[in-house]
């Protein structure tokens, strides 16, 4: 091999190394990129943006179950309010955790609808879902508690597809007619749709299979007109950090 061939081979190897490093950095930036947060009612990790007494979480728009690969490692499971499932309970964003002080951030008094605002800073397609856990009835948060009260939209669907929207997304959801609580927890779940996977019919397509999941929880009240004299009641949680 002459000198020119040796130099050419060396340049090719250097280029390969640069490409590998660049790809790694790109993937890392995609993983670290902010995604979204519930602003109204404000999520537990974002309350500091409006209340200086709340603990600060600068990563409040990145509550996605510890990351896609961590969620996969956890068997697809996610903490109740967006934390890494493998963390000790109460996890940071759960009631009694670092951000889960239980302070009521919004009261829906004598109304049948709830206006909800979510800010998306990096769109991953997919859809939103909302559920409410009634702590007055159940005493603590659980998947079973949240599943009791799924919210629907005007067309009767339980999913709100965001397409390619970025920025503040304002939605109106129907509140359950049989729900009445001094302390409830509203949960926003964003299931992304930008990963390729296997669909239920066995075909492959974008949005099928496992996807990134983002979750926020907010403490709210849902009161009938007869009980609407109670507004934004602060709930102290023993052991909250």
Question: What CATH number does the domain containing 55 carry?
Answer: 2.70.50.50
Query: Is 239 part of a structural domain of the chain?
Result: no
Query: Is 136 part of a structural domain of the chain?
Result: yes
Domain carrying residue 107: 35-227
Statement to judge: residues 139 and 56 lie in one domain: yes
Statement to judge: residues 20 and 90 lie in one domain: no
- How does pLDDT run along the chain (241 residues), one tens digit per residue? 555 555 555 555 554 544 444 333 333 444 445 489 999 999 999 999 999 999 999 999 999 999 999 999 999 999 999 999 999 999 999 999 999 999 999 999 999 999 999 999 988 899 999 999 999 999 999 999 999 999 999 999 999 999 999 999 999 999 999 999 999 999 999 999 888 888 889 888 988 989 999 999 999 999 986 544 444 444 444 343 3
Statement to judge: residues 3 and 22 lie in one domain: yes
In eight-state DSSP terms, residue 49 is G
Statement to judge: residues 79 and 145 lie in one domain: yes
Statement to judge: residues 12 and 75 lie in one domain: no
Separation of alpha carbons 191 and 125, rounded Å:
8
Statement to judge: residues 84 and 28 lie in one domain: no
Statement to judge: residues 140 and 212 lie in one domain: yes
Are 198 and 210 within 8 A, CB to CB?
A: no
Statement to judge: residues 79 and 122 lie in one domain: yes
Query: Is 241 part of a structural domain of the chain?
Result: no
Predicted pLDDT at 78: 98
pLDDT digits (tens, 9 = 90+) for 64-100: 999 999 999 999 999 999 999 999 999 999 999 999 9
> If DSSP codes are grouped into helix, strand and coil, which group holds residue 146?
helix
Predicted pLDDT at 207: 87
Statement to judge: residues 61 and 9 lie in one domain: no
Statement to judge: residues 23 and 86 lie in one domain: no
Predicted pLDDT at 97: 98
Predicted pLDDT at 225: 60
Predicted pLDDT at 206: 85
Query: Is 47 part of a structural domain of the chain?
Result: yes
Statement to judge: residues 152 and 217 lie in one domain: yes
Measure CA 95 to chain center: 16
Statement to judge: residues 65 and 178 lie in one domain: yes
Q: The pTM is what?
A: 0.81
**What Å distances lie between residue 125 and 29, 95, 191, 193, 200, CA to CA?**
18, 29, 8, 5, 19
């Amino acid at each position: 091999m002459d000198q020119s061939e040796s130099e050419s081979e060396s340049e090719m190897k250097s280029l390969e190394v640069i490409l590998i490093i660049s790809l790694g950095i790109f993937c890392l930036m995609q993983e670290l990129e902010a995604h979204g947060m519930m602003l109204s009612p404000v999520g537990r990790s974002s309350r500091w943006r409006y209340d200086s007494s709340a603990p600060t979480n600068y990563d409040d728009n990145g509550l996605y179950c510890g990351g896609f690969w961590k969620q996969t490692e956890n068997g697809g499971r996610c903490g109740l309010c967006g934390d890494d499932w493998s963390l000790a309970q109460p996890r940071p964003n759960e009631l009694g955790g670092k951000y889960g002080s239980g302070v009521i951030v919004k009261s829906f008094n004598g109304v049948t609808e709830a206006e909800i605002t979510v800010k998306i800073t990096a769109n991953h397609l997919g859809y939103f879902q909302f559920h409410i856990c009634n702590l007055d009835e159940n005493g603590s948060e659980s998947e079973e508690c949240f599943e009791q009260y799924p919210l629907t939209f005007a067309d009767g669907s339980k999913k709100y597809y965001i397409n390619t929207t970025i920025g503040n997304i304002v939605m109106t959801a129907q509140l359950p007619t049989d729900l009445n609580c001094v302390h409830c927890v509203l949960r926003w779940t964003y299931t992304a749709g930008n990963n390729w996977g296997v669909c239920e019919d066995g075909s492959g397509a974008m949005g099928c299979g496992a996807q990134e999941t983002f979750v926020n929880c907010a403490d709210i009240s849902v009161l009938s007109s007869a009980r609407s004299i109670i507004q934004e009641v602060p709930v102290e949680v023993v052991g909250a950090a």
